[in-house]
Amino acid sequence: MDLLLLPSPLLGPASWAPVARLLGARVVEVDEVAAVAADLTDVVLVPHSNAGLWAPLLAADIGAVATVYVDAALPTSTGSTPLAPARFLDFVRGLADDDGLLPPWTRWWDAAEVDALFPDAATRAAVEAAEPRLPLSFFTSSVEVPAGWADLPSAYLAFGATYAEEIAAATARGWPVVTMPGRHLHQLVAPGEVASAITALVERLPV
């Protein structure tokens, strides 16, 4: 199987780099999945954070055999899913500059709070070097959700309880679910632990 690790569009590929090296996997941004997967078979998508909102559509488009969501948002059951709930949209509107561009994600929050997400300054610098500045319009759009997407073999790996609703939804759907103590970028803090958990979850799926 080919594992494609999908980083959040807010963070960029460096957020998955240590795990990718351990798994021998590829890090692929959301808009590149179709091109990369064109010559692959038995693809497993591994989206992190809000890349999870695109995963069902991408899985349907490329015929992925499974998805392992990692501390990721999940879309609605059918129809379309907004990329930002109303309250969060109000927050990001306040961050945009006069050209409608948002600062890099790590500048949205208190510096000490962001520091706590990374294992060291070098790792933070590597992520920030590839961090994009997205337009506000990114968050005012939505993504289509294919019917029956949750029936694809899927699993959920959570870092702590930030995504409690998603953990509950995955559990209710009968997906394998693992929760490990950690913050949202735990794949950078403990890449070996996260890589092993992803491998174990894939092995539990009927693929």
pLDDT tens profile 116-150: 999 999 999 999 999 999 999 999 999 999 999 99
- How large is the average pLDDT for residues 43-47? 98
pLDDT at 35: 97
pLDDT in tens, 83-124: 998 889 999 999 999 999 999 999 999 999 999 999 999 999
Residue 166 belongs to domain spanning = 2-204
187, two tokens: 């794949």
| CA–CA distance, 29 with 206 (Å, rounded to integer) | 26
CB 5 within 8 A of CB 19: yes
Query: In sequence order, what are the beta bridge partners of 145?
Result: 79
The pLDDT value recorded for residue 78 is: 86
Confidence band for 62, pLDDT divided at 50, 70 and 90: very high
Structure confidence at residue 66 (pLDDT): 98
Tell me what pLDDT residue 113 has.
92
Q: What is the CATH number of the domain that holds 177?
A: 3.40.50.1820
- Confidence band of 6 (pLDDT split at 50, 70, 90): very high
Instruction: Work out the mean pLDDT of the chain and round it to a whole number.
Output: 96
In the chain, how many domains are there?
A: 1
Q: Please state whether 4 falls in left (phi above 0), alpha (psi between -120 and 50) or beta.
A: beta
Residue at 150: amino acid letter: A
Supply the pLDDT for residue 174. 97
